């Protein structure tokens, strides 16, 4: 009896019974260079938006240790403060499609690690979003609502300053999670061959820098203060190079080679499980 040919197994995620979403169908149909450039564009929005919302706005409005001056700056430049919050929300929104696209690109290297990186991104985004909610508190306290008449001006200014003094702590918490994703991304890029291995090393170094600074801030804040800005430079180089190479695009032939290997691995696992039954 002639043996039947074995079916070809494609390296793709199982389709839900209710049907794929339009976003996932679009991602599956896009070419790797196109996906990489979109991810690079979203990454660039993250970098530029983060510099504005997390770097520029606090530097312009928050006066360290002076609640009254900080409250005056926020009231005098309320639109600027709100602009920083709006940009920060845009950053959070771009994290989700960027994570999905990077998963689709790197699942041909290692599906489980690519999924782990996606989880790091989603959890980090959720934590960052919860932290961002606190940044609206000064606007409520300084808005002059009738229910605030029970507090003196000095008390309101002090209460409004607390959420502005704590972002460093919340930032370091979320950076520990994002750093885990960067370490995984560094490994995936290094093993991918369709992006330069040097970029993978730089991304891993960026993740280690974030972890070092965050835990130094938790354990020895005075020591962590001496690390800035030196420890930020490797992180900027690592993430900047990653963003740049995504914008340039991936090596299509090598990506297809990785996809072919992923197909072979999936076929081998499938037939081994069938033969074992």
pLDDT of residue 213: 94
User: What is d(CA 76, CA 134) in angstroms, rounded to the nearest whole number?
Assistant: 20
User: What is d(CA 29, CA 26) in angstroms, rounded to the nearest whole number?
Assistant: 5
User: What is d(CA 38, CA 103) in angstroms, rounded to the nearest whole number?
Assistant: 13
Q: 111: which 2 tokens? A: 């599906």
pLDDT averaged per 10 residues, the chain (length 277)? 48 50 62 91 95 91 89 93 95 95 93 95 93 88 77 86 81 92 96 93 96 93 89 92 92 82 66 57
Domain boundaries, the chain: 23-261
Determine how many CB atoms are found less than 10 A away from the CB of residue 232: 15
pLDDT of residue 142: 87
Q: 249: which 2 tokens? A: 């695009």
Instruction: Output the pTM of the full model.
Output: 0.82
pLDDT of residue 98: 96
pLDDT of residue 3: 47
């Amino acid at each position: 009896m002639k043996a039947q040919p074995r079916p070809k197994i494609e390296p793709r995620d199982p389709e839900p019974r209710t049907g794929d979403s339009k976003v996932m169908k679009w991602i599956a149909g896009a070419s790797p260079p196109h996906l990489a450039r979109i991810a690079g564009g979203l990454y660039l929005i993250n970098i530029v938006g983060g510099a504005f919302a997390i770097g520029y706005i606090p530097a312009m409005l928050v006066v360290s240790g002076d609640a009254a001056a900080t409250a005056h700056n926020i009231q005098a430049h309320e639109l600027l403060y709100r602009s920083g919050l709006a940009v920060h929300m845009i950053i959070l929104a771009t994290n989700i499609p960027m994570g999905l696209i990077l998963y689709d690109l790197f699942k041909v290297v290692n599906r489980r690690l690519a999924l782990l990186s996606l989880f790091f991104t989603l959890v980090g985004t959720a934590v960052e979003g919860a932290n961002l909610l606190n940044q609206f508190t000064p606007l409520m306290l300084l808005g002059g609502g009738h229910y605030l008449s029970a507090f003196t001006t000095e008390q309101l200014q002090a209460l409004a300053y607390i959420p502005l003094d704590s972002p460093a702590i919340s930032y370091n918490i979320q950076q520990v999670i994002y750093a885990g994703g960067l370490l995984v991304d560094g490994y995936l890029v290094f093993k991918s061959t369709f992006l330069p291995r040097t970029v993978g090393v730089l991304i891993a170094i960026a993740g280690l820098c974030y972890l070092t600074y965050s835990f130094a801030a938790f354990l020895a804040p005075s020591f962590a203060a001496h690390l800035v800005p030196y420890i930020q430079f490797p992180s900027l180089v690592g993430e900047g190079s990653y963003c740049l190479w995504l914008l340039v695009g991936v090596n299509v032939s090598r990506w297809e080679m990785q996809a072919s290997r992923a197909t072979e691995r999936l076929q081998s696992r499938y037939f081994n499980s069938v033969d074992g039954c």
